[in-house]
Amino acid sequence: MLIRRPADIPASRITPREVFERRRAFLRRGVGMLAAATWGGAARGRHAADTRPLAPLAASPLSTDEAPTALDRILSYNNFYEFGAGKGDPSLYAHALPIRPWSVVVDGLVARPRRFDIDDLLALAPLEERIYRLRCVEAWSMVVPWVGYPLAALLRQVEPLGSARYVVFESYYDPAVVHPHFFGFLEFPYIEGLRLDEALHPLTLLTLGLYGETLPRQNGAPVRLVVPWKYGYKSAKSVVRIRLVEEQPLTSWPRADHRNYGFYANVNPALEHPHWDQRRERRIGEFLKRPTQMFNGYADQVAAMYSGMDLQRAF
């Protein structure tokens, strides 16, 4: 998956707001044959996203010019293992996730550790950067109109120390709410990490919404990470803590299976995976596969960060 050149999104390529609002209203009712066909059952409709308007849809200079994936696909096909291993499980079970009140602690090797309320995060930077990103997980991908701003805006508030080299993200976990027995392979809470230069890159997004509204629960409400040149498991959902550290952290997937999942998770079609072919991917909503692009189509922007590294070993 290669890099996408900066380009404006023609208005004709963006799903009109009234279209996805009609979809959302229909899903909330949770009845009818169309809801059952779309979600695979009325239960998913009853647990549809509870969101509110956040920012008008507009393309940022970093947007891809590819057509976005339909909203109903984005809401119903998810990896959120705290709420089940099936792609449709999060839309069934994530309604239990409490998203207000919410705060994110940012600490560790910083000069000014701080707890940010979700409203602090919303006000921290103007949501003027609507960024369409190609997001790939294993052999499937989608284009999502995320709403957010560079994570660097948050990290500047706490002033990282010179000894900080990595950033660790911790997701929400309450065993009374989350049911990891759905997927016993991972340990919770979910831990993810980036190198500091990766975290400060302008493509690394602190994400608060999609399709112009606040994040749905099954997509990682109320705040998540989006790192578009990496496989989706680097995008921590429902983040409650961000910690700056000196040593590379042992994150959730490498802890669970170091043979299949590495710390860097850069999209690299040349890497031979033991269980699936990474050379081609299937876009959600399409039948045929397409060639996977290096760094998910963002090589021009990010490849320099990995100069001299063996991306077969550092995967």
Report the half-sphere exposure of 304 (CA within 13 A, side-chain side).
Answer: 4
The segments of the chain whose pLDDT lies below 70 read 1-49, 127-139, 180-184
Helix (H, G, I), strand (E, B) or coil at 175: coil
How far separated are the first and last CA of the chain, in Å rounded?
15
Burial 20-49 (b: 16+ CB within 10 A, else e): beebbebbeebeeeebeebbbebebbbbbb
> Which candidate, 211, 216, 209, places its Cα nearest to that of 20?
211
Whether 3 is covered by a domain: the verdict is no
Query: From residue 172, how far is each of 70, 133, 305 by CA, in Å?
Result: 27, 24, 30
**pLDDT value at position 266?**
95
Q: What pLDDT is recorded for position 182?
A: 56
pLDDT (tens digit per residue) in 260-303: 889 999 999 998 877 778 888 888 888 898 899 999 999 999 99
Express the helix, strand and coil content of the chain in percent, nearest 5 each: 30, 25, 50
Residue 313 within a domain = no
Residue 201 region by backbone torsions, left for phi larger than 0, else alpha for psi between -120 and 50, else beta: beta
CATH number at residue 147: 3.90.420.10
Domain that holds residue 60: 11-306
The angle formed by the CA atoms of residues 55, 58 and 62, to the nearest 5 degrees, is 115
- The amino acid occupying position 214 is T
pLDDT for residue 310: 94
Helix/strand/coil for 198: helix
pLDDT score for 277? 82
**276 within a domain of the structure (yes/no):** yes
5 falls within a domain:
no
290 found inside a domain = yes
Q: Is 170 a domain residue?
A: yes
pLDDT given for residue 85 in this prediction: 85
Q: Burial, 94: exposed, middle or buried (Cβ in 10 Å; 0-12, 13-18, 19+)?
A: buried
Tell me, yes or no, whether 226 lies in a domain.
yes
The per-residue pLDDT for range 219-244, each reduced to its tens digit, is: 999 999 999 999 989 999 999 999 99
* Domain tally, the chain: 1
